[in-house]
A and B are shown apart, each in its own frame.
Chain A
């Protein structure tokens, strides 16, 4: 990077300041646009019904009220929805992690006939829109009496092509010598995978956990199709319900409070993993 700056013809001091000022201006502008919806979300959740109806709109309530964060738990079984979402999301994330590591290891380090063809098929599943499988999956769950149940929500989301692909890419980077050494020591493939490969996978596993958790937490189409009672509703499904049943603008504070709670796990995980990624990058930087 330092080489890069040096290579430019050095502009005059004045032009450098101007360019720097423009860059900061750009950055602030983008930040404002990106953060404004979040600001409006929080501000609205703290408004009173009078603030919400005010014209012109109130930007920040004079007396921020947190009561809507309690109301949202009273008007819908929101605590239950959070529990449901956690059960479904944690189970399918664990499933995806397990199946992806095992299959990714085989695709990266084992040789067998038809490997490439099978791997291409796995990749192709990433291109298939979710709604293409929807009708048979729905019928399957109804036939098994698994509609409106946890297994029904979890089962179709225990493996995915993206996870297998991601794990294969990372495991392919692990030197074969490391595996051969462990094999000479008499380690079985099972111990090899969990004792040698998995400890080296931590950054990749963190990335996969992040993506799997967030995408299951955010999933809307599948719960919408097979859940029919409020007690089995997920957070995202409850948010849609809240918005539908409280269309009046004076209830926006409750909907926004629910939304703020609903996005919290995704926001926290993203911020946490960001740190993790940067740590991983700097660690490998020191080593290299």
Chain B
């Protein structure tokens, strides 16, 4: 009996190792090791093709060089602004639309949810292509719609001041539905009794949601906040497809700058330094945000 149990527990620990190793092994080879190698390359100088053994140690030189380049500082600033603008627009809209989807007594709510969620699931490259034609100043429909409203035509992607905002609008359209679905999931976990009690006390719509919904939605919103930050800080596809950083570097972002430094200029060391800086920023920001929301 005891021996039987022992062999059982041994077969179970064999299963533990056997079931875990494919997934963990792949994550180690294709995620953990590459991160370490990126860190290693960032301290060395060399092209993309040179073997690891022949790379020259340069310490933190690449980091210094990268920060001395105005172009990378611009790219960092741009991606922060992009991230911030997305947060400011998406967070309130996601809460309002989530409440609407959850509460409205209208037919077709499921259709609305599907339609909101759909753009999130299609390739960003496809979204960028379609929006590129929508933004087309002469032949596109957006300036035509503006002219119906007697508003002046805009330069959109071609304008130094509007190109970044145009990319933000594109991203809001594509990803809003995903965050709305997260907010709806959070709303279903709030007990209805709270609202009943508040209504009996005579609290109106705004007060009910300000004092009940927002505090109880805290964890969901923290999650939305962190995912939104992580996703927007890595923006690459629409920039590569639509603007390539132009006009006048106004849409140059860190991921794009890193990509061309590596693949167009062949500077593996500097590109790796950029990647490590972005990794540090993403990790620091998301841990900071999670802690901030936990302490609230």
On A, residues with C-beta under 8 Å from B are 3-5, 7-9, 20, 23-24, 26-27, 30-31, 33-37, 40-41, 44, 52-57, 59, 95, 98-100, 102-103, 105-106, 110, 112, 118, 121-122, 125, 127-140, 142, 155-156, 158-161, 164, 183, 188-190, 193, 210, 214, 217-218, 220-221, 224-225, 235-236, 239-240, 243, 249, 252, 255-256, 259, 262-263, 266-267, 269-271, 274, 278
In the complex, which residues of chain B have a beta carbon less than 8 angstroms from the beta carbon of A127?
A: 230, 282-283, 286
Judge whether B121 and A262 touch: CB under 8 Å.
no
Judge whether B27 and A161 touch: CB under 8 Å.
yes
If A9-B199, A259-B130 touch, whether A99 touches B23 (CB-CB below 8 Å) is yes
Judge whether B20 and A269 touch: CB under 8 Å.
no
Judge whether A129 and B22 touch: CB under 8 Å.
no
The answer for the CA separation of A40 and B139 in the assembled complex, in Å, is 12
Among candidates B41, B114, B259, residue contacting A131 with C-beta atoms closer than 8 Å: B259
Among candidates B20, B119, B283, residue contacting A103 with C-beta atoms closer than 8 Å: B20
The answer for the CA separation of A130 and B263 in the assembled complex, in Å, is 15
B165 to chain A, nearest CB (A): 16
For chain B, the bracket of interface size reads: 35 or more
Judge whether B173 and A37 touch: CB under 8 Å.
yes
Residue of A nearest to B93 (CB): A30
What's the dominant secondary structure at chain B's contact region? Answer: helix
If A220-B124, A249-B136 touch, whether A4 touches B192 (CB-CB below 8 Å) is yes
A187 to chain B, nearest CB (A): 11
Per-position contact with A for B251-267: 1 when CB-CB < 8 Å, else 0?
00001001100110000
The answer for the CA separation of A35 and B46 in the assembled complex, in Å, is 48
In the complex, which residues of chain A have a beta carbon less than 8 angstroms from the beta carbon of B26?
A: 95, 99, 158-159
B183 at the interface (CB under 8 A from A): no
Among candidates A56, A110, A249, A262, residue contacting B123 with C-beta atoms closer than 8 Å: A262
On B, residues with C-beta under 8 Å from A are 8, 11-16, 19-20, 22-24, 26-27, 30-35, 37-38, 41, 48-49, 97, 100, 103-106, 108-112, 114-119, 121-127, 129-134, 136, 138-141, 144, 147, 173, 177, 192, 195-196, 199-200, 230, 233-234, 236-237, 240-241, 255, 258-259, 262-263, 268, 271-272, 275-276, 278-279, 282-283, 286
In the complex, which residues of chain A have a beta carbon less than 8 angstroms from the beta carbon of B276?
A: 132
Judge whether A240 and B118 touch: CB under 8 Å.
no
Among candidates A23, A98, A106, residue contacting B16 with C-beta atoms closer than 8 Å: A106
Judge whether A135 and B118 touch: CB under 8 Å.
no
If A127-B282, A188-B11, A259-B126 touch, whether A102 touches B20 (CB-CB below 8 Å) is yes
Judge whether A118 and B139 touch: CB under 8 Å.
no
Among candidates B11, B22, B121, B255, residue contacting A159 with C-beta atoms closer than 8 Å: B22
